[in-house]
Amino acid sequence: MKKLFPILGILSGILLSYALYQGLVVAPTEQTMGNVQRIFYYHVPSAWTAFILFFVNFGASIAYLIKRRPAADMVALVSAEVGVVFCTVVLVTGPIWARPVWGIWWTWDMRLTSTLVLWLIYVSYLFLRRFSSSGETPVLAASLAVLGALCVPFVYFSIWFFRTQHPQPVMGGGGSIDPRMLHALLVNWLAFSCFAFLICWSRYRLEKFEREVDHAHAMRSLRDPATNIEREPYSERRA
């Protein structure tokens, strides 16, 4: 497993470089928007990756609520954190694209507002995980994650159900796309998915390590209570 990580890291780097080349060089320039449209090759795959991570968080939260296994709780925490990072990319790159195309940075239409609400739900989830030291925190967080996941389909389908300024979906929206553009988009999605998997893996190892150190400190303080004077659990110090 230790050898697999650097190999996957190198493969992911190569894939990201190839995806960048596809997005900047191979894909043709869009006629109305020009080169600004190439922002889509980062914006759209980041959104899809964030949605997948939020669904992983949903599945892991359900698993934790049923079986109460710490591994499921760790997967839920890690996927939510990395999902928030990708959702942040979506919320930053979207306005950068909108400014030259729409003439405004932001508008309170359904897709943009619901994406912001989704991001806020998962940020609250992470705040809950970090600042609550109650033993029931993982259960409360898992319940919040179930609520957050219900928001994901709403965000995705909002452009079908409401009149919005946001462009129609790339696939399944009835429009057509140049095959080279579609290829660049899918390659970028694959590259960002691999990258997200690697980050999740690193973050999972870190979380596991933190819990082991917490456990070691707890055992040590049980043996010698005097050593616990200046130390509090890692989960609380992280706040």
Partner 1 sequence: MRANPYLFAAYFATWTIHITYLGIIASRYAKLKREVNDLKQD
- Contact residues toward partner 1 (CB under 8 A) are 24-25, 29, 34-36, 38-39, 42-43, 46, 85, 88-89, 92-93, 96-97, 99-100, 195, 199, 202-203, 206, 209-210, 213, 216-217, 220, 227
Nearest CA among 70, 61, 206 for reference residue 125 = 61
CA distance 184 to 192: 12
Note the Cα 229 to chain centre separation in Å.
Answer: 38
Paired tokens of 88: 């942040």
Cβ proximity to partner 1, 62 vs 170, nearer residue: 170
- Give all strands (DSSP E) within the chain, no chain letters: none
Amino acid, res. 197 = F
Question: Which residues on adjacent β-strands are paired with residue 34?
Answer: 30
Task: Report the alpha-carbon distance of residue 43 to residue 184 in Å, rounded.
Answer: 12
Centre a 10 Å sphere on the Cβ of residue 2 and count the other Cβ atoms it contains. Answer: 5
